[in-house]
Amino acid sequence: MPFDEDQVLGTLTLQEKASLMSGADFWHTKGVERAGVAAVMMTDGPHGLRKQVVEGGAAELGDSVPATCFPTAVTLASTWDPELMRRVGEALGREAAAQGVAVLLGPGVNIKRTPLCGRNFEYFSEDPYLTGRLAAGYVEGVQSQGVGTSLKHFAANNQETDRMRVSVEVDERTLREIYLPAFEHVVKTAQPWTVMCAYNKIAGIYASEHGWLLSGVLRGEWGFEGLVVSDWGAVHDRVAALAAGLDLQMPGIGPRPDKAVVGAVVDGRLPEDVLDAATRRVLHLVARSRTEPAAAPDLDAHHELAREAAAAGAVLLKNDPVAGHPVLPLSDEENVLVVGELARTPRYQGAGSSQVHPTRLDDALTALREVLGRDVPFVPGYTVDANPYQDLQLRTQAVEQARQAGTVVLFLGLLPADESEGYDRERLDLPTNQVRLLTALAEVNRRVVVVLANGSVVALTGWRRSAPAILETWLGGQGGGHAVAEILTGRRAPEGRLAETIPLRLTDTPAHGNFPGEFGHVRYGEGVLVGYRWYDARDVAVAYPFGHGLTYTTFGYDALTATVSGSGDDLAVDVSVRVTNTGSVAGAEVVQVYVRDPEASVLRPPRELKGFRKVRLAPGESQQVTITLGARDLAYWHPTLRHWIVEGGSFVVEVGSSSRDIRATAAVEVAGESAALPLDSMSTVAEWLAHPVGGPLLRGAMAAAGVPETDEEMLRQIPLEVALSFAGGAVAPAELARLVAAANA
């Protein structure tokens, strides 16, 4: 309901302003009836609406109005399709609007630091560039419907273990290059209505009280115009949080925090300006929010969209030939046996605050029968609660039937309790009874297709060779079953790509040894080497690399060019390549552009994703794809100068079908910026001599004092002050001070 925020602000009492700083209940802000300020509702999120039936209370997680359960973020991310994200966002926005919800609490853009994070299904990727582009599509889509989003959890909430207390010890360069860019991109390009602060601490300070993050970086540097809301229960000191830039405390916990705010203003600890600015932001949220429900959306159309998104996010990991032909797609006449309880009891979303009550639910078994228009035999094969006696019986039955089958389609996956918000996973493996079943089936049938359902990667080591084809569907939402049936039978081509590396072993993963921390601290010791950056830097073999995914056709790349224009902030590198569908069916390719600085003076990852484009091509069709890189795509964060730096020289641009399937490479020369650090008396001789101003000054002073320039590396690595003292104090301290001042002038 639009109103003039400044005019209303001027009429509010101190108590009324303070009352707007915290929720009325679990899901609503407080209104000020006298001033015509309504209460608005926010609710989870992210992949569907979780509007609780019993409004206001914490209630049961599963107890919400029916809403379309779209694929979870892990599946959506594997689409590599920002345009599809926007359409899903629009549908989510329509459903929220119809329920009178002002803000949908998503998307979650935390980086997957480890595959063990229990909440990885709710996050997009191990890569910040991909995460940012996809999340921006989602935010634009939702907000185009007049519904706000909440970009969460800001920042560095990358594990569930001890999430409400743990202090993340991470260096600024790593924050800037890995954990913040997705937030930054979405804020700068899509202006989410709200940002949700994380529960955890960063370097000992709660995210809810982190002035540098909330006010300095988010608002000051990135120009965030919206409201900062707390994660539910993340505020510990209301006044400190408000001073740091946190506007709205959720959920409501009674009058205590509001009284604290009033008290702090009255006794001068909190400037009233700070309260006014936060109040204005709450008023702005209310003013732009819908208070009346919008028209009911077309839920059938949303179900179709959920199916489309699930199909687009399913990743065909392998599809080997058996007797000369790839196993997939299955012909309509194929004598198929479906095995696995998950085929009829799908796992389609994760546990916790994102749990949606779906409007409908496709299961793969029914969908396969529908698509083929005939009965398809099914055996459950295993129990979900791993009952050894029953498992043995079910396995024996499955093996008997598999002997007679042409192809076995086996549904495997993690169980709800294996991954959830609130705690982390302990292992990467599938349940033992499921792997045992696969091994037994593979002994009697060579054509076993595995369909996986899990929210974060599972280890394939030990069983991968038993299955000539593997389709990873992640947690595909309410349309996932139908999507799988269409992909298996070739009615849709698979087109998903891995947004996270599938490692061979847990011990290979980047955070291993630094996760989940000890005694309240977790140290991000791997620094910027997260995900494929780590495996590539260490040359570690993986099961399937970041960006990988097969389809039913093949693609060729040629005619790569990379052309540099402009300089400084206007630097542009136009990367252009021709992609051709070289197979006999239509399909989608995700063209990926990676950048490397081979001459970097600091540790940089061997390759970083800086562009991608999904193209759909008919057999024989070609398309020229052009992706433009900017200065930021070549830059690293300089920890001492504290800004982005492009080092001049050559850069390598790689274009490929995955991070380990590079099809074409080009080198470009770019002019860089100086990263000269200020000199002081403890800068080394080598640093002084390399400095554009300090070098000549020092040479002059040494010549005047009769000290010869050294080319001995051991001496060159000594701080100047020490070196000069070794030279018998040839240059006096006052002269050295003068040199320092002149060098930095």
* 186-216 burial: b if 16+ Cβ within 10 Å, else e: bbeebbbbbbbbbbbbbeeebbbbbeebbbe
Q: How far is the CB of 106 from ligand BGC (least distance, A)?
A: 7
The total of other beta-carbon atoms located within 10 Å of residue 727's CB is 16
Decide: is 353 part of the binding site for ligand BGC (CB under 6 A): yes
The DSSP secondary structure of 493-545, one letter per residue, reads ------SS-EES-GGGSTTTTSSS-BTTEEE-TTTT--THHHHHHHT--EEE-
- Quick check: 424 binds ligand BGC (CB under 6 A)? no
DSSP state of 434: H
- Does residue 160 belong to the site contacting ligand BGC (CB under 6 A)? no
| CB closer to ligand BGC out of 45 and 517 | 45
Say whether 231 is catalytic: yes
Q: Smaller CB distance to ligand BGC: residue 231 or 258?
A: 231
SS3 call for 483? helix
- Phi and psi at 164, nearest 5°, equal -85, -5
Please state the closest distance from residue 232 (CB atom) to ligand BGC, in A: 4
Residue 715: phi and psi, rounded to 5, are -75, -35
Residue with the two structure tokens 């080319």: 711
Please select the residue that binds ligand BGC; options are 232, 411, 535, 612, rule is CB under 6 A.
Answer: 232
Min CB(37)–ligand BGC separation in Å: 23
| Burial 230-267, CB ≥16 within 10 A → b, else e | bbbebbeebbbbbbbbbbbbbbbbeeebbebbbebbee
CA pair distance 150, 19, nearest whole angstrom: 21
* DSSP assignment string, 608-666: EEEEEEEEEE-TT-EEEEEEEEEHHHH-EEETTTTEEEPPSEEEEEEEEEETTEEEEEE
Token pair of 15, please? Answer: 């108590």
The one catalytic residue in 162, 231, 424, 633 is 231
- Counting contacts by CB under 6 A, is residue 423 touching ligand BGC? no
CB of 240 to ligand BGC, least distance (A): 21
**Which residues have a Cβ under 8 Å from the Cβ of 694 and sit 6 or more positions away?**
679, 683, 687, 688, 739, 743, 744
- How many residues form the binding site for ligand BGC (CB under 6 A)? 7
Phi then psi dihedrals of residue 151, to 5 deg: -75, 120
**Nearer Cβ to ligand BGC, position 187 or 412?**
187
> Which among 632, 539, 618 has a CA at the least distance from the CA of 583?
618
Cβ distance to ligand BGC smaller for residue 194 or 473: 194
Site string for ligand BGC, 99-138 (x = CB under 6 A): ------x---------------------------------
* Cα–Cα distance measured from residue 459 to residue 543, given in angstroms and rounded to the nearest whole number: 8
Q: Using an 8 Å Cβ cutoff, are 483 and 473 in contact?
A: yes
Choose between 152 and 533: whose C-beta lies nearer to ligand BGC: 152
Nearer to ligand BGC, 128 or 251 (CB): 251
Binding of ligand BGC at residue 45 (CB under 6 A)? Answer: yes
The span from the CA of 548 to the CA of 48, in Å, is: 27
Q: How far is the CB of 711 from ligand BGC (least distance, A)?
A: 59
**Nearest CB to ligand BGC, comparing residues 28 and 663:** 28
Contacts 24+ apart (CB under 8 A), 323-326: 326/469, 326/552
Smallest distance, Å, CB 588 to ligand BGC? 31
Measured from the CB atom, the residue of 125 and 230 that comes closer to ligand BGC is 230
DSSP per-residue codes, 352-397: STT---BS----HHHHHHHHHTS---EE--S-TT--HHHHHHHHHH
Among 231, 308, 526, 673, binds ligand BGC (CB under 6 A): 231
Minimum distance, C-beta of residue 210 to ligand BGC, in the bound complex (Å): 17
The first and second tokens of residue 230, run together, are 């707390």
- Which is closer to ligand BGC, CB of 43 or CB of 279? 43
Candidate residues 5, 44, 429, 608; the one interacting with ligand BGC per rule CB under 6 A: 44
Name the minimum Å distance from CB 233 to ligand BGC.
7
What would you report as the CA-atom Rg of the chain, rounded to the nearest whole angstrom?
29
Cβ atoms of residues 467 and 442 within 8 Å: yes
* Minimum CB distance to ligand BGC, residue 231 (Å): 5
Pick between residue 206 and residue 463 the one whose CB is nearest to ligand BGC.
Answer: 206
Q: Does 357 bind ligand BGC (CB under 6 A)?
A: no
With binding defined as CB under 6 A, does residue 152 bind ligand BGC? yes
Question: Among residues 357 and 395, whose Cβ is nearest to ligand BGC?
Answer: 357
Q: Which two tokens stand for residue 270?
A: 């909190």
DSSP string, 669-728: EE-----PPPP-TTSBHHHHHHSTTHHHHHHHHHHHHTPPPP--HHHHTSBHHHHHHHTT
Please list the residues that pair with 22 across neighbouring strands: 249
Residue at shortest CB range from ligand BGC? 353
In sign, the C-alpha dihedral spanning 726, 727, 730, 735 is negative
* Min CB(189)–ligand BGC separation in Å: 22
CB of 246 to ligand BGC, least distance (A): 15
Q: For residue 157, what are its two tokens?
A: 């909430």
Residues within the interface to ligand BGC (CB under 6 A): 44-45, 105, 152, 231-232, 353
State the catalytic residues. Answer: 231
